[in-house]
Amino acid sequence: MAVTMRDVARYAGVSPRTVSNVVNDFELVSDATRQRVRLAIDALGYRPNLMARSLRRGRSGLIVLAVPELNIPYFSELAGAIIDEAEKHSYTVVIEQTDGHLDSERRLLDQSDRTLLADGLIFSPLALSHTELRQRSSDIPVLLLGEHVTDGMYDHVGIDNIGAARAAVEHLLQIGRRRIAAIGHQFQLSGETAQYRTQGYRATLEAAGRRFDPGLLASTPSFHRDSGARAMAELLDLPDPPDAVFCYNDLLAIGAMRMLSQRGLRVPEDVAVVGFDDIEEGRFTTATLTTISPNKRQIAAEAVGQLFRRISGDDGPARTVEAEFHLTVRESTVGTPTPEP
């Protein structure tokens, strides 16, 4: 079987206690002893048993990151950043995909198998309603990503969605667009993020003295590319189609641009497009994508940092952090400055 601490202790002629001290870098060991123990460890090829350690310490060193889907680039990029960030705290990340299903999301807070091992949960809920979120309580610290729906029950990291939507729409107004549509509104109660973006969209139009036209607000069943394409098609079929569209994420925008090119329309000349998330993909679309760029590294760092603080025992009131964002202007709104020869 595996070589244990006891084996090392015997081999080095010390007690397990001392081996533990060496392994965990406790300073109160004489250099001579430390040397001897190190040698024994190498000689025997000892590796600490993390399960035993976890059991004893009462912590697993694992956190769960629950997102809708890993193949939504925003989430895979964020997950990558969170994994890196967690590593800085010596934490390991387990990813759980909810597919936006209510059941999966419920199970997470119920301490299902997956979360049973974990010391904490970073959760980006999609289907779970406001109220339900508030009713349930998890044994481990939970940090919410996305909208601040929680009245001080959970720690939370998000961005100012209203402000971000405003930045997007103002940009479209600035470049002289007259009929600005939006793609990505959700009907479900749970889609708080979308609600806020719609709110920002509408408010900005009205502040600019434009009439809000409900016909230009396209709801989508998902945040995937195909939904964006379908929604764009519908908008183009209107008697008076838009000359600009603000999409609630980059995937929708990419689907919309695909549909525009299929219909033989040019971006941005015929229709300008703004996305949201700033995924890598948007830098290589045929018209590169103007988009709202949330600071993902900051989101990751704050999320892990906050959660870590809780795991370490902080018991203060729930905190909300708003991460930074900015508008990244690319070809899909302003065209190619100097077309290459």
Partner DNA sequence: CTGTTAGCGCTTTCAG
Partner DNA sequence: CTGAAAGCGCTAACAG
* Count of residues that interact with DNA, criterion CB under 7 A: 32
Shortest distance in whole angstroms from residue 181 CB to a copy of itself:
19
CB of 197 to a copy of itself, least distance (A): 22
**Distance between CA 90 and CA 50 in Å, rounded?**
13
> What is the spatial distance between Cα 56 and Cα 33, in angstroms, rounded to a whole number?
25
**CB of 102 or CB of 173, closer to a copy of itself:** 102
Q: Does 339 bind DNA (CB under 7 A)?
A: no
Tokens (6 digits) for 36? 């001897």
Could you give the CA distance from residue 301 to residue 253 in angstroms, rounded to a whole number? 27
- The pair of three-digit structure tokens given for residue 336, joined into one six-digit string: 């190619």
Using CB under 8 A, pick the residue from 13, 35, 42, 47 that binds a copy of itself.
47
* Choices 2-10, 132-140, 170-178, 269-277 (CB under 7 A): range interacting with DNA: 2-10
- 297 in contact with a copy of itself (CB under 8 A): no
Residue type at 62?
Answer: L
Per DSSP, the three-state class of 332 is helix
Helix (H, G, I), strand (E, B) or coil at 102: helix
Q: State the DSSP H helix or E strand holding residue 289, giving kind and residue range, or none if neither.
A: none
Peptide bond into 268 cis (omega under 30): yes
Nearer to a copy of itself, 106 or 114 (CB): 114
* Residues 304, 300: Cα–Cα separation, whole Å: 6
Nearer to DNA, 30 or 71 (CB): 30
Query: Among 19, 149, 205, 229, which residue interacts with a copy of itself (rule: CB under 8 A)?
Result: 229
- Establish if 39 lies at the interface with DNA (CB under 7 A): no
| Choices 12-20, 69-77, 132-140, 186-194; region in contact with DNA by CB under 7 A | 12-20
Cβ-based neighbours of 166, under 8 Å, separated by 6 or more: 200, 203, 204
CA 20 → CA 8, 16, 45, 89, 108, distances in Å?
A: 10, 6, 15, 21, 35
Residues 6+ apart with CB under 8 A from 188: 127
Sign of CA dihedral 197, 231, 100, 295: negative
10 is a contact residue toward DNA (CB under 7 A): no
Residue 139 binds to a copy of itself (criterion: CB under 8 A): yes
User: What string marks each residue from 45 to 64 as x (binds DNA by CB under 7 A) or -?
Assistant: -xxxx--xx-xxxx------
Interface ranges with DNA (CB under 7 A) = 1-2, 4-6, 13-18, 20-21, 23-24, 27-30, 32-34, 46-49, 52-53, 55-58
Interface ranges with a copy of itself (CB under 8 A) = 2, 47-52, 54-55, 60-62, 69-71, 73, 76-77, 79-80, 83-84, 90, 92-97, 111, 113-114, 116-117, 139, 225, 229, 254-255, 257-258, 261-264, 280-281, 283-286, 336, 339-341
